[in-house]
Amino acid sequence: MALIEVRGVSKVFGPKPQSALPLIAEGRSKAEILAETGHSVGLREIDLDIEAGQIFVVMGLSGSGKSTLIRHLNRLIDPTAGEIRFAGDDILTYDIKALLEFRRSKMSMVFQHFALLPHRTVVDNVAYGLEIQGVGKRERRARAEEWLETVGLAGYGPSLPDELSGGMRQRVGLARALCTDADVLLMDEAFSALDPLIRSDMQDQLAALQARLRKTIVFITHDLDEALRLGDKIAILKDGALVQVGTPADILLHPADAYVESFVRDVNRVRVLTAETVMKPPRLRITTENLDEALRQVRASPHDFAYVQTADGGGYGVVTQEGLEQARRSRTSLKDLTHELPSVQPGQALEEVLPVALQSQFPLPVVDESGELQGVVTKKAVIGVVADQAEARAARAEAAEGDVEPQPSEPPAA
Amino acid sequence: MDIFMDFGPVIADAVNRAIDDLVIRHGDDFEAFSNVMLAVLVGIEGWLRSLPPPVVLAAAAAAAYAASRRLTLALGAAAGLWLIGSLGLWQQAMQTVAIMGVAVGLSMLIGLPVGVLMARSDRVRAAVLPLLDLMQTIPSFVYLIPAAMLFGLGKVPAILATVIYAAPPLIRLTDLGIRLVDAEVLEASRAFGATRMQMLFGVQLPLALPNVMQGINQTMMMALAMVVIASMIGARGLGETVLLGLQRNDSGQGALGGLAIVALAIVFDRVTQAVGVRLQSRAARRG
Ligand SMILES: Nc1ncnc2c1ncn2[C@@H]1O[C@H](COP(=O)(O)OP(=O)(O)O)[C@@H](O)[C@H]1O
Ligand SMILES: [Mg+2]
């Protein structure tokens, strides 16, 4: 069971929201529904599972319903239809008291424009969630100071938010959210208002914190680079509807439609994709020292070579069928027959893998931290990723030149 | 042909009957209320008048300095009060300050909650706004008459008339200030599980404070502007001085009273403005 389950959630804004539900069910477009009924569709029939410990990214153009969706998770907005469950609990049945308790202990939130209380010092801002819960002044300040230190703002406690730079203010926002020790962190375009350099700093810091804290983070952005950098899963929204949910590699390699494609087309895939995403299952691996047995196995397999572990640490090489046949006559050992191969880590970017793969006669072994052979990366697979993108780019260039085909819609803007 | 219907006497009769009715049925209640207010007012007035003027001057200077951190304003405030005393109107000024103080206090007691309710509900706002317009446009004599009938001539109806006239800006600015609070900040408060009261006292009112202060400033100024009119139904003080000048055709005395009122207005205005400015710039840490 996922930690957060969203089932069939629709949200309509307007005086009689229910009246637009049948039109949503008919699949009428947002524009049509607006023209016909004057109601604005925020979300349409969303199904989502958010697993504990994940960074779940929601992406989409401005107005696609990202903020509306995230506000359903702590019921700042209530759905027009559908169900939302947290740890199996239907949160829509909560009364005021249960809802306040839920917001206090389970959910915390970071905002695009920081939303700090301007009349309070930094430390009192960080302690705000605890103050709401009635934690005593001394204890909440002590805990707030700890979190300030964690986000790199030790000593700024007595300052006012106005005296801090944007990046520092959002660290305060982050510390405030972490200070209540809630299970889930909701981040609505939390880094979108920051300069690019500071933004990437914050992304690194969030990733580092997450590696330690293992929170469930729902992160909203309109920036694909950010999504790819942070997301374990990415959901893409368009006009309030979910168009695709998947891992970053899924989204890059198999965009569900032209809208998703328009997001991903300018991403340098070789830089973003890792060896893991293009790796094939491990081919034949020989563990026996017996040459006859080894030859038998290679002959029986569809390939004319096999992988052999050459060192305990995880060095791998290949032996060929030909080599084995000769060796049987000359009585050399299996080790001496083996061609050492450079190995690749699962998380290594294709950018780094590419030159090595091009030089190698054999598919490269992908070896994990414990020295296990996870799979292999073929030259063809790596080249395929590059070629796909080049082809797509060329096709677009042609289309643009000839001006025959309609341009795909613009990539997401800020 | 006469196209007009003759409503006038009907309405007038109805109002008269309603007021008479109120007097007959609730006369005691009004009197009780009146007595409480009178006691408060007389207490404050007596206390102010009993203070030695140098102490009052020093207190005004200290308050001005605390509000502005400017020595010039502190000296100016003391100088203003000294001028009033030198005009020979010290006692009258203290009476006026007492009436104004009670009127402003009452305005806040009524105005702040009403402003909060208006900010919270568009319906309340729609209902209250025309009432505020009415309170500010209707000539004060119109309600001075029934007020005098209900409470008798004197200080209490004067205060009520002053509140009716002076409370609207505070109500409007409280409503405005709360509505102008950054929606994202309020949402943050809600997201952390704040109750409505925690949002009101922890976020909305503190952030609306600069506007509320401006409302208090305007209410004070309007209350001072009412002193002359209020004196017509028996309130003592600087207004009475002006009124006497008018009745005795003594322009000189009228001018003295006018000067004293202006001096008082300037002192109160500058000091409350300074508070507002400091709140706005948030130079005052943790209030
Ligand atoms: N309070 C509201 N009243 C009316 N329409 C709204 C409201 N909030 C959001 N919407 C509409 O819902 C859609 C999604 O908005 P939002 O969730 O803010 O998008 P995003 O965060 O992706 O930019 C928009 O078309 C917007 O106009
Ligand atoms: Mg948004």
What pLDDT, in 10s, does the model give residues A35-90?
A: 999 999 999 999 999 999 999 999 999 999 999 999 999 999 999 999 999 999 99
Q: What is the DSSP letter of A60?
A: -
Cα-to-centroid distance, A244 and ligand 1 (Å): 20
Residue nearest to atom 10 of ligand 1 (CA): A42
pLDDT of residue B157: 84
pLDDT greater than 80 at residue A406: no
Give me the pLDDT at residue A402, please.
56
Name the residue with tokens 């205060």. Answer: B159
Residues of chain B neighbouring A74 (CB-CB closer than 8 A): 191
The larger pLDDT score, comparing residue A18 to residue A411, is at A18
> Model pTM?
0.79
- Ligand 1 site: residues with CB under 6 angstroms? A 13, 40, 42, 60, 62-68
pLDDT tens digits, one per residue of B67-114? 888 999 999 999 999 999 999 999 999 999 999 999 999 999 999 999
A240-295: pLDDT as tens digits: 999 999 998 889 888 899 888 888 887 778 778 888 888 888 778 888 878 888 88
A262/A412 Cα distance (integer angstroms):
8
Q: Please give, rounded to a whole number of angstroms, the shortest distance from the CA of A77 to a CA of chain B.
A: 11
Closest CA to A152 of A175, A130, A129: A175
Q: Out of B57-61, B66-70, B119-123, B150-154, pick the least confident.
A: B150-154
Give the residue on B whose Cα is nearest the Cα of A71.
B191
B194 touches chain A (CB under 8 A): yes
List, in sequence order, every residue forming a beta bridge with A244; answer none if it has no partner.
A236
Is A234 in contact with A248 (CB distance < 8 Å)? Answer: yes
Residues 6+ apart with CB under 8 A from B13: none
Q: Which residue of A has its CA nearest to B204?
A: A117
Query: Could you give the ipTM of this predicted complex?
Result: 0.78
pLDDT digits (tens, 9 = 90+) for A321-362: 888 888 777 777 777 788 888 888 888 888 888 888 888 888
Q: What are the pLDDT digits (tens) for A117-176?
A: 999 999 999 999 999 999 999 999 999 999 999 999 999 999 999 999 999 999 999 999
Q: How far is the CA of A220 from the centre of ligand 1 (A)?
A: 14
For residue B182, the model assigns a pLDDT of 93
The position carrying tokens 């401005």 is A62
Which ligand has the shortest distance to the CA of A61?
Answer: 1
Residue that wins the pLDDT comparison between A374 and A388: A374
Is the model's pLDDT at B283 over the cut of 50? no
By alpha-carbon position, which residue is closest to atom 1 of ligand 1? A13
Please give the single-letter amino acid code of residue A257. Answer: D
Candidates A128, A141, A189: best to mutate against B (most CBs of B within 10 A) is A128
Residue B37 pLDDT grade (very low, low, confident, very high; cuts 50, 70, 90): confident
Task: For residue A103, list chain B residues with Cβ-Cβ distance below 8 A.
Answer: 190-193
- Closest residue CA from atom 14 of ligand 1: A65
Nearest residue in chain A measured CA to CA from B287: A119
**How many CA atoms lie within 13 Å of A109's alpha carbon, on the beta-carbon side?**
28
Task: Say how many residues make up chain B.
Answer: 287
8 Å CB contact of A115 and B182:
yes
Taking one residue from A and the other from B, the number of pairs with CB-CB distance under 8 angstroms is 67
* Distance, CA of A171 to CA of A365 (rounded, Å): 41
Q: What is the pLDDT of residue A401?
A: 66
Higher pLDDT, B237 or A405: B237
Contact A129 B190 (CB under 8 A): no
> Average pLDDT of chain B?
89
Question: How many Å lie between the alpha carbon of B207 and the closest alpha carbon of chain A?
Answer: 7
| Among candidates A100, A104, A119 on the partner chain, residue whose Cβ is nearest the Cβ of B282 | A119
pLDDT band at B190 (very low <50, low <70, confident <90, very high): very high
The two beta strands, A305-309 and A285-286, are parallel
What is the percent of chain B with per-residue pLDDT over 90, rounded to a whole number? 58
Q: Is pLDDT at A378 greater than 70 in this prediction?
A: yes
Mean pLDDT within B112-125: 95
Report the 3 state secondary structure along B168-232: HHHHHHHHHHHHCCCHHHHHHHHHCCCCHHHHHHHHHHHHHHHHHHHHHHHHHHHHHHCHHHHHC
**CA angle, corner A29, sides to A42 and A410, nearest 5?**
80
Which ligand is closest in space to the CA of residue A42?
A: 1
Q: How far is residue A295's CA from residue A305's CA, in Å, rounded to a whole number? A: 10
Residues of chain A with a CB closer than 8 angstroms to some CB in chain B:
74, 76, 100-104, 107-109, 111-113, 115-121, 128-129, 131-133, 160, 162, 180, 186
pLDDT (average), residues A187-210: 93
Q: What are the DSSP calls for A247-304, one per residue? A: -HHHHHHS-SSHHHHHHHTTS-HHHH-BHHHHPBPP--EE----HHHHHHHHHHSSSS
